[in-house]
Structure 1
Amino acid sequence: MQNVGSTDRMLRIVVGLVLLAVALAGPTLGFSIVAGLGAWKWLLAAVGAVMLLTGVFRFCPAYLPLGISTCRRD
């Protein structure tokens, strides 16, 4: 079952990768604001991972109870 359309999918993948990069590699790349986040960077990484996975698998569990689907109707 798929409920994530193409545009939604691409946005999720890009946002997920950016959040993961900022959270995990940010402090080593000189993003001082991320270094000051402490444990919050792990929440940022978790949100990035969820966004990435929902984009890759084209399925968002949060869409189910809300009845949302961004897939095209045939």
Structure 2
Amino acid sequence: MEKNMGTTDRVIRVILAIIVVALYFTNIITGTVGITLMALAGIFLITGFISFCPLYTPFGLNTCSKK
């Protein structure tokens, strides 16, 4: 797996995941929407930590800075 996510992309994903988790545990989002958003937050955390997004590959996206 070659990294295809830049630092800004990773930080945004982790921040969004933290916000969703906080909203879920404060019961602002609940039910099916809450569970779906929690699953998405988990995916955001995983992809943010490993710096690889599988959906970027078929579209040829890469947010890593070119060095």
- What TM-score, normalized by structure 1, do the two folds share? 0.80
Flag structure 1 segments of 5+ consecutive residues without an equivalent. none
| TM-aligned CA deviation for residue 71 of structure 1 | 0.2
1:17 partnered with 2:18: yes
What's 1:47 paired with?
A: 40
- What TM-score, normalized by structure 2, do the two folds share? 0.88
Please say which structure displays the higher CA radius of gyration.
1
| TM-aligned CA deviation for residue 9 of structure 1 | 0.8
Which segments of structure 1 move beyond 3 Å, counting only runs of 4 or more? Answer: none
Please, what is the CA RMSD of the aligned residues? 1.1
What's 2:64 paired with?
A: 71
CA contact (8 A) 1:15 1:52 kept: no
Percent of residue pairs bearing the same amino acid type? 32
| TM-aligned CA deviation for residue 26 of structure 1 | 2.0
Flag structure 2 segments of 5+ consecutive residues without an equivalent. none
**One-letter code aligned to 1:73:** K
The CA deviation string for residues 33-74 of structure 1, in whole angstroms up to 9 with x for no partner, is x2xx41221101001111111111100000000000000112
